[in-house]
Protein backbone atom coordinates (compact mmCIF):
# COMPACT_ATOMS: atom_id res chain seq x y z
CA UNK A 1 0.00 0.00 0.00
CA UNK A 2 1.05 3.57 -0.61
CA UNK A 3 2.39 5.48 2.35
CA UNK A 4 1.57 9.12 3.00
CA UNK A 5 4.65 10.29 1.10
CA UNK A 6 3.77 8.24 -2.00
CA UNK A 7 0.17 9.48 -1.88
CA UNK A 8 1.34 13.09 -1.66
CA UNK A 9 3.65 12.53 -4.60
CA UNK A 10 0.84 10.96 -6.63
CA UNK A 11 -1.53 13.81 -5.78
CA UNK A 12 1.14 16.32 -6.73
CA UNK A 13 1.66 14.57 -10.07
CA UNK A 14 -2.03 14.74 -11.01
CA UNK A 15 -2.41 18.35 -9.87
CA UNK A 16 0.55 19.40 -11.97
CA UNK A 17 -0.35 17.44 -15.10
CA UNK A 18 -4.11 17.78 -15.34
CA UNK A 19 -5.70 19.91 -18.05
CA UNK A 20 -9.10 21.61 -18.04
CA UNK A 21 -10.53 21.51 -21.58
CA UNK A 22 -13.99 22.83 -20.67
CA UNK A 23 -12.48 25.84 -18.94
CA UNK A 24 -10.27 26.39 -21.98
CA UNK A 25 -13.24 26.27 -24.39
CA UNK A 26 -15.13 28.86 -22.33
CA UNK A 27 -12.05 31.10 -22.28
CA UNK A 28 -11.61 30.73 -26.05
CA UNK A 29 -15.21 31.83 -26.66
CA UNK A 30 -14.76 34.87 -24.42
CA UNK A 31 -11.45 35.73 -26.07
CA UNK A 32 -13.04 35.60 -29.52
CA UNK A 33 -15.71 38.03 -28.32
CA UNK A 34 -13.08 40.35 -26.82
CA UNK A 35 -9.53 39.84 -28.20
CA UNK A 36 -8.17 42.41 -25.71
CA UNK A 37 -9.26 40.35 -22.70
CA UNK A 38 -5.81 39.24 -21.51
CA UNK A 39 -7.29 37.28 -18.62
CA UNK A 40 -8.76 34.76 -21.07
CA UNK A 41 -5.33 34.21 -22.63
CA UNK A 42 -3.93 33.29 -19.23
CA UNK A 43 -6.89 30.99 -18.60
CA UNK A 44 -6.35 29.15 -21.90
CA UNK A 45 -2.64 28.75 -21.24
CA UNK A 46 -3.10 27.55 -17.67
CA UNK A 47 -5.98 25.23 -18.58
CA UNK A 48 -4.07 23.36 -21.28
CA UNK A 49 -0.43 23.60 -20.26
CA UNK A 50 -0.28 20.78 -17.73
CA UNK A 51 3.19 20.41 -16.24
CA UNK A 52 5.24 22.75 -18.42
CA UNK A 53 7.27 24.32 -15.65
CA UNK A 54 9.41 21.36 -14.49
CA UNK A 55 11.77 21.37 -17.46
CA UNK A 56 12.61 25.09 -17.40
CA UNK A 57 13.27 24.85 -13.66
CA UNK A 58 15.62 21.92 -14.22
CA UNK A 59 17.36 23.87 -16.96
CA UNK A 60 17.79 26.83 -14.62
CA UNK A 61 19.16 24.56 -11.92
CA UNK A 62 21.76 23.21 -14.36
CA UNK A 63 22.88 26.70 -15.37
CA UNK A 64 25.21 28.67 -13.01
CA UNK A 65 23.48 31.98 -13.77
CA UNK A 66 20.06 30.34 -13.62
CA UNK A 67 20.87 28.70 -10.30
CA UNK A 68 21.82 32.09 -8.88
CA UNK A 69 18.47 33.49 -10.00
CA UNK A 70 16.64 30.63 -8.32
CA UNK A 71 18.59 31.18 -5.11
CA UNK A 72 18.04 34.95 -5.03
CA UNK A 73 14.55 35.00 -6.62
CA UNK A 74 14.66 38.70 -7.59
CA UNK A 75 11.37 40.54 -8.06
CA UNK A 76 11.56 41.95 -11.59
CA UNK A 77 8.11 43.52 -11.22
CA UNK A 78 9.40 45.98 -8.63
CA UNK A 79 11.93 47.37 -11.10
CA UNK A 80 9.67 47.26 -14.14
CA UNK A 81 7.03 49.27 -12.26
CA UNK A 82 9.53 51.92 -11.13
CA UNK A 83 8.74 54.60 -13.70
CA UNK A 84 11.14 57.13 -12.22
CA UNK A 85 14.04 54.67 -12.31
CA UNK A 86 13.33 53.49 -15.88
CA UNK A 87 12.79 57.04 -17.18
CA UNK A 88 16.14 58.10 -15.72
CA UNK A 89 18.01 55.43 -17.69
CA UNK A 90 19.88 56.44 -20.88
CA UNK A 91 17.84 56.89 -24.02
CA UNK A 92 18.08 53.70 -26.08
CA UNK A 93 18.75 51.52 -23.05
CA UNK A 94 16.76 48.35 -22.36
CA UNK A 95 14.99 49.90 -19.38
CA UNK A 96 14.22 53.24 -21.04
CA UNK A 97 12.88 51.49 -24.14
CA UNK A 98 10.76 49.25 -21.94
CA UNK A 99 9.43 52.32 -20.12
CA UNK A 100 8.50 54.06 -23.38
CA UNK A 101 6.92 50.87 -24.75
CA UNK A 102 4.70 49.95 -21.81
CA UNK A 103 3.65 53.47 -20.88
CA UNK A 104 3.08 54.38 -24.51
CA UNK A 105 0.67 51.44 -24.64
CA UNK A 106 -0.78 52.23 -21.19
CA UNK A 107 0.54 48.95 -19.78
CA UNK A 108 2.31 47.91 -16.59
CA UNK A 109 3.95 44.83 -15.13
CA UNK A 110 1.26 44.88 -12.45
CA UNK A 111 -1.33 44.61 -15.20
CA UNK A 112 0.05 41.21 -16.20
CA UNK A 113 -0.03 40.09 -12.58
CA UNK A 114 -3.64 41.25 -12.22
CA UNK A 115 -4.70 39.52 -15.45
CA UNK A 116 -3.26 36.22 -14.26
CA UNK A 117 -4.83 36.36 -10.80
CA UNK A 118 -7.03 33.34 -10.16
CA UNK A 119 -5.99 31.53 -13.35
CA UNK A 120 -3.19 29.36 -11.96
CA UNK A 121 -3.61 26.38 -9.68
CA UNK A 122 -0.17 26.30 -8.08
CA UNK A 123 -0.89 23.45 -5.69
CA UNK A 124 1.97 20.99 -5.80
CA UNK A 125 4.40 23.60 -7.11
CA UNK A 126 7.74 24.13 -5.39
CA UNK A 127 8.96 27.62 -4.55
CA UNK A 128 11.37 27.45 -7.51
CA UNK A 129 8.51 26.51 -9.83
CA UNK A 130 6.24 29.30 -8.57
CA UNK A 131 9.00 31.87 -9.02
CA UNK A 132 9.83 30.58 -12.51
CA UNK A 133 6.19 30.67 -13.61
CA UNK A 134 5.86 34.23 -12.29
CA UNK A 135 9.09 35.26 -13.99
CA UNK A 136 7.86 33.98 -17.35
CA UNK A 137 4.69 36.06 -16.94
CA UNK A 138 6.47 39.17 -15.70
CA UNK A 139 9.00 39.42 -18.55
CA UNK A 140 6.34 39.23 -21.29
CA UNK A 141 6.60 42.90 -22.29
CA UNK A 142 10.38 42.77 -21.90
CA UNK A 143 10.30 40.06 -24.57
CA UNK A 144 8.41 42.50 -26.81
CA UNK A 145 11.25 44.98 -26.35
CA UNK A 146 14.05 42.48 -26.96
CA UNK A 147 12.46 40.92 -30.06
CA UNK A 148 11.00 44.09 -31.57
CA UNK A 149 7.50 42.63 -31.90
CA UNK A 150 4.67 45.14 -31.48
CA UNK A 151 1.38 44.75 -29.67
CA UNK A 152 -0.69 44.41 -32.83
CA UNK A 153 -2.39 40.98 -33.08
CA UNK A 154 0.25 39.60 -35.48
CA UNK A 155 3.05 40.92 -33.29
CA UNK A 156 1.54 39.23 -30.25
CA UNK A 157 1.11 35.97 -32.15
CA UNK A 158 4.69 36.10 -33.45
CA UNK A 159 5.89 36.69 -29.89
CA UNK A 160 3.92 33.66 -28.72
CA UNK A 161 5.78 31.62 -31.34
CA UNK A 162 9.04 32.96 -29.88
CA UNK A 163 7.95 32.22 -26.32
CA UNK A 164 6.81 28.63 -26.82
CA UNK A 165 10.03 27.87 -28.68
CA UNK A 166 12.10 29.12 -25.76
CA UNK A 167 9.83 27.49 -23.15
CA UNK A 168 7.51 24.89 -24.74
CA UNK A 169 3.89 25.33 -23.66
CA UNK A 170 0.87 23.37 -24.93
CA UNK A 171 -1.55 26.15 -24.05
CA UNK A 172 0.36 28.68 -26.13
CA UNK A 173 0.65 26.16 -28.96
CA UNK A 174 -3.13 25.79 -28.93
CA UNK A 175 -3.63 29.56 -29.21
CA UNK A 176 -1.17 29.68 -32.12
CA UNK A 177 -2.94 26.86 -33.98
CA UNK A 178 -6.32 28.49 -33.46
CA UNK A 179 -5.09 31.89 -34.67
CA UNK A 180 -3.18 30.39 -37.60
CA UNK A 181 -6.35 28.77 -38.96
CA UNK A 182 -8.23 32.06 -38.62
CA UNK A 183 -5.56 33.97 -40.55
CA UNK A 184 -5.38 31.35 -43.29
CA UNK A 185 -9.15 31.49 -43.70
CA UNK A 186 -9.85 35.20 -43.27
CA UNK A 187 -6.59 36.79 -44.45
CA UNK A 188 -4.83 34.47 -46.91
CA UNK A 189 -2.86 37.42 -48.31
CA UNK A 190 -0.92 37.55 -45.01
CA UNK A 191 1.65 34.72 -44.93
CA UNK A 192 1.26 33.91 -41.26
CA UNK A 193 3.41 30.77 -41.48
CA UNK A 194 6.45 32.83 -42.49
CA UNK A 195 5.98 35.09 -39.47
CA UNK A 196 5.50 32.20 -37.05
CA UNK A 197 8.60 30.51 -38.43
CA UNK A 198 10.55 33.72 -37.96
CA UNK A 199 9.52 33.86 -34.30
CA UNK A 200 10.76 30.31 -33.81
CA UNK A 201 14.06 31.04 -35.54
CA UNK A 202 14.75 34.14 -33.44
CA UNK A 203 14.03 32.13 -30.29
CA UNK A 204 16.43 29.38 -31.33
CA UNK A 205 19.24 31.79 -32.19
CA UNK A 206 18.98 34.06 -29.16
CA UNK A 207 19.91 33.54 -25.54
CA UNK A 208 17.39 31.96 -23.20
CA UNK A 209 15.53 34.91 -21.72
CA UNK A 210 14.59 33.11 -18.53
CA UNK A 211 18.25 32.78 -17.47
CA UNK A 212 19.16 36.44 -18.00
CA UNK A 213 19.47 38.63 -14.86
CA UNK A 214 17.47 41.46 -16.41
CA UNK A 215 17.61 43.50 -13.22
CA UNK A 216 21.33 44.01 -13.94
CA UNK A 217 20.96 44.81 -17.65
CA UNK A 218 18.17 47.36 -17.86
CA UNK A 219 20.53 50.35 -17.99
CA UNK A 220 22.60 48.89 -20.87
CA UNK A 221 22.13 49.93 -24.53
CA UNK A 222 19.35 47.87 -26.10
CA UNK A 223 21.09 47.26 -29.42
CA UNK A 224 24.28 46.20 -27.67
CA UNK A 225 22.40 43.71 -25.48
CA UNK A 226 20.47 42.40 -28.49
CA UNK A 227 23.71 41.82 -30.36
CA UNK A 228 25.43 40.18 -27.40
CA UNK A 229 22.50 37.83 -26.75
CA UNK A 230 21.92 36.96 -30.40
CA UNK A 231 18.55 38.66 -30.96
CA UNK A 232 18.02 39.07 -34.69
CA UNK A 233 15.49 41.67 -35.93
CA UNK A 234 12.14 40.26 -37.12
CA UNK A 235 12.61 41.44 -40.70
CA UNK A 236 9.62 39.58 -42.16
CA UNK A 237 7.35 40.99 -39.47
CA UNK A 238 8.73 44.50 -39.97
CA UNK A 239 8.23 44.27 -43.72
CA UNK A 240 4.69 42.97 -43.35
CA UNK A 241 3.95 45.70 -40.82
CA UNK A 242 5.26 48.39 -43.18
CA UNK A 243 3.36 47.09 -46.20
CA UNK A 244 0.21 45.77 -44.53
CA UNK A 245 -0.16 47.85 -41.36
CA UNK A 246 -3.94 48.24 -41.64
CA UNK A 247 -4.39 44.54 -42.36
CA UNK A 248 -2.26 43.52 -39.40
CA UNK A 249 -4.03 45.93 -37.06
CA UNK A 250 -7.39 44.49 -38.09
CA UNK A 251 -6.26 40.87 -37.75
Which DSSP string do the residues of 45-109 spell out, in sequence order?
HHHHH-S-SHHHHHHHHTSHHHHHHHHH---HHHHHT-HHHHHTSPTTBHHHHHHHHHHHTT--H
CB proximity list for 204: less than 8 A, separation 6 or greater:
165
166-202 tens-digit pLDDT? 999 888 888 898 889 989 998 898 999 999 999 999 9
Confidence label for 241 from pLDDT (cuts 50, 70 and 90): confident
Average pLDDT, the chain: 82
Confidence label for 119 from pLDDT (cuts 50, 70 and 90): very low
- Given this model, what pLDDT does residue 104 score? 79
126-141 tens-digit pLDDT? 899 999 989 998 999 9
Round to whole Å and give the CA distance between 55 and 169.
11
The domain locations on the chain are: 55-250
Q: Which residue has the higher pLDDT, 44 or 135?
A: 135
Do the Cβ atoms of 222 and 193 come closer than 8 Å?
Answer: no
Round to whole Å and give the CA distance between 229 and 146.
10
Percentages (nearest 5) of helix, strand, coil residues in the chain:
70, 0, 30
- Given this model, what pLDDT does residue 5 score? 37
- Neighbouring CB atoms inside 10 A of 145's CB total 21
- Given this model, what pLDDT does residue 107 score? 65
Do the Cβ atoms of 56 and 67 come closer than 8 Å?
Answer: no
Confidence label for 123 from pLDDT (cuts 50, 70 and 90): low
Do the Cβ atoms of 95 and 141 come closer than 8 Å?
Answer: no
Q: What percent of the chain has pLDDT over 90?
A: 53
Amino acid sequence: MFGRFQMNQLQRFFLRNRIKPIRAVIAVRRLLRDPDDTTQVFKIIESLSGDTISNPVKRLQAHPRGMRLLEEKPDIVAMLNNRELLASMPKGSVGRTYHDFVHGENLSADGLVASSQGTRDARGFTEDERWTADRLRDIHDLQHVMTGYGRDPVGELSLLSFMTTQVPNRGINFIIRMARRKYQKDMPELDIDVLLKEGRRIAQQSAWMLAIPWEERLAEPLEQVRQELGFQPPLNYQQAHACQAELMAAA
